[in-house]
Structure 1
Amino acid sequence: MPLTNAGRNFIAAAIMNDGPPAFFDGAGSFIGAGDSSTAFAASQTDLQAASNKLRRAMEAGYPQRTNNVLTFQSLFGTSEGNFAWEEWGVFNDPTAGVMLSRKVESLGTKTSAQSWLITVDITVNIGS
């Protein structure tokens, strides 16, 4: 899953301790879902949906890190995110902040009869 430019810049700033970044920790990580199928571009800073988009906080104990794999997990309850899920991303703020990554993928249409638990694994690699 490719990083956004903002995600790349966040990592560079964190390595240098350049400013107080809002870390992707248990209190500051969110998964967002939206209904836009607009292609990914590294310059994007938010989900591309005009109105059908929502961010949810992490489940207890998330995010997690095992070596170079970051795992994020959020629950969208019956009253949340009831639209076609065509995109999702990982954020460090409930409404603004840094979008670390975004994926365009049709996951189906969530209804009020369902709760969806989404888990995102991001593998940090070196080289090309």
Structure 2
Amino acid sequence: MSALANVLTARANLTPAFDFYTKSIKVHLRVPGRHHKTAGYNKLAWFLQKQGEYKMAIEYLRLSLKVHTRKQSVDTSPEIARTKYQLSQVLHESVETEESNEPEAEAQQLRFQLIGKKPGEDESREAYDELIAYFYR
């Protein structure tokens, strides 16, 4: 369902895309494991951010970070960097500007460690999306 939602998002059909992401999360919550749920949390946060629902977007991003930062056998630092960057952007838009500085700096540091991009160099949601596999975006 999330793949269909990605296609709908790319075609700017945002209302049905949001519905599919929501349904996808409900299905993923029933499946054992943790990591696969986070892509849905990030997408829901993106939609909520676009709608100005900053508080809920922040909650979904913090939930995603909670899952990513648990000790796992897989390196999740790319996902952590992307989620922290997204969180910093939502905090900044919600006028929590001072609170947005810490996650942004942490995201920039992780990104530098991963691919050598210096803070301020090519800073965008798309640039952070490229850190992770397509199906987790």
TM-score > 0.5 by shorter chain? no
Structure with the bigger RCO (C-alpha within 8 Å, sep 6+) is 1
TM-score range relative to shorter protein: under 0.3
Q: Which has the higher strand share?
A: 1
Q: TM-score when scaled to structure 1?
A: 0.26
